[in-house]
């Protein structure tokens, strides 16, 4: 495994725990040996480079650092990483990609080069971009990255006639779904899925280093039909019910009492305007949304060109 590949592996450990910041990995190498590593900590804590530099201490002087994203050059919740790299006496920096954040976008690299540090850009760039695809869309547009997940039979059905789609996936696929949920900021479903399947929509603690972070659950429920007994309202974490404006006050009140947050949005053809919903989620710094059904919601998102990525499970069965 080369050093940049290791930096990307470290970044994957952080994925799902750094939002709205990108997940970044850093590896410090001296005389051909790895002396220190780090990955992004939760927001407000150390960035990958700082974590690695702190572990390296004085040994960082004259070393080379491999980072999966350009070090930041501005003061946010933490001081700029580019300055910390310069202060530590690092001699050479390898960056997988330039940060698309308009407040960085090449400035970190420029600062390093002005300080006389040899800087290389582009090693494993494609992998680095895919790793932070949600961050890239969010930081450049203000909108979350939308992944549509569904399971289908060989004849193209996405659920059995009873409405239960659990038949499709085995244990391995279910484990993968939990890791997808863990790396998303929000999981979205339509109300029909909640009524038919009463899913929990939890990541069940599948995160890095045993974290129990649960993504926000978003139920698209134009008329407020979700039962107040639904499991999603009782699970740890937040549940947001997106309804078309105006929702009957009695329904809204009952949902709030059951533990949900109700967000009333403009209607489009009598249903929640999905563009307005995604825009509202972006304003809450939700960078990624995993949509898990049902067919009506998925169809609307595809029709409106709002899906960025598809995760499809195909089962070797025919439903008929």
Active-site hit among 37, 49, 70, 214: 49
> Tokens standing for 276?
């307005």
DSSP state of 148: E
Cβ burial, residue 114 (10 Å; 0-12/13-18/19+)? exposed
CA angle, corner 182, sides to 176 and 183, nearest 5? 95
Q: Tokens standing for 142?
A: 């203000």
Residue 49 known to be catalytic: yes
User: Any idea of the CA torsion for 78, 83, 89, 90, to the nearest 10 degrees?
Assistant: 80
Beta bridge partners of 243: 264
Partner residues linked to 297 by β-bridges:
none
Instruction: Determine the longest span between alpha carbons in the chain, in angstroms.
Output: 69
Beta pairing, strands 239-244 & 186-190:
unpaired
Q: How far is CA 15 from the centre of its chain?
A: 7
The set of catalytic residues is 49
């Amino acid at each position: 495994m080369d050093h940049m590949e290791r930096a990307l592996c470290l970044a994957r450990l952080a994925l799902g725990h750094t939002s709205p910041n990108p997940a970044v990995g850093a590896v410090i190498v001296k005389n051909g040996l790895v002396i220190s590593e780090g990955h992004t900590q939760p927001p407000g804590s150390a960035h990958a480079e700082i974590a690695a530099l702190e572990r390296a201490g004085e040994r960082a002087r004259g070393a080379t650092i491999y980072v999966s994203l350009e070090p930041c050059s501005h003061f946010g919740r933490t001081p700029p990483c580019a300055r910390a790299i310069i202060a530590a006496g690092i001699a050479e920096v390898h960056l997988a990609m330039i940060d698309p954040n308009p407040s960085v976008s090449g400035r970190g690299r420029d600062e390093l080069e002005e300080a006389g540090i040899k800087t290389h850009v582009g090693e494993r760039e494609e992998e680095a971009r895919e790793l932070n695809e949600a961050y890239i869309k969010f930081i450049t547009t203000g909108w979350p990255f939308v992944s549509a997940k569904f399971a289908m039979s060989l004849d193209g059905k996405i659920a059995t006639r009873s409405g239960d789609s659990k038949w499709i996936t085995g244990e391995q696929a279910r484990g993968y779904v939990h890791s997808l949920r863990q790396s998303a900021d929000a999981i979205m479903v339509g109300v029909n899925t909640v009524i038919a399947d009463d899913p929990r929509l939890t990541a069940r603690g599948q995160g890095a280093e045993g974290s129990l972070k649960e993504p926000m659950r978003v139920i698209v429920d134009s008329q407020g039909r979700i039962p107040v007994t639904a499991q999603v309202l009782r699970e740890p974490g937040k549940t947001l019910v997106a309804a078309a404006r105006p929702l009957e006050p009695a329904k809204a009140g009952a949902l709030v009492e059951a533990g949900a947050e109700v967000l009333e949005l403009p209607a489009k053809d009598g249903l929640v305007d999905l563009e307005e919903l995604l825009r509202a989620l972006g304003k809450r710094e939700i960078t990624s949304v995993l949509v898990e059904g049902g067919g009506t919601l998925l169809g609307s998102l595809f029709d409106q060109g709002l899906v960025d990525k598809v995760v499809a499970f195909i089962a070797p069965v025919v439903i008929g």
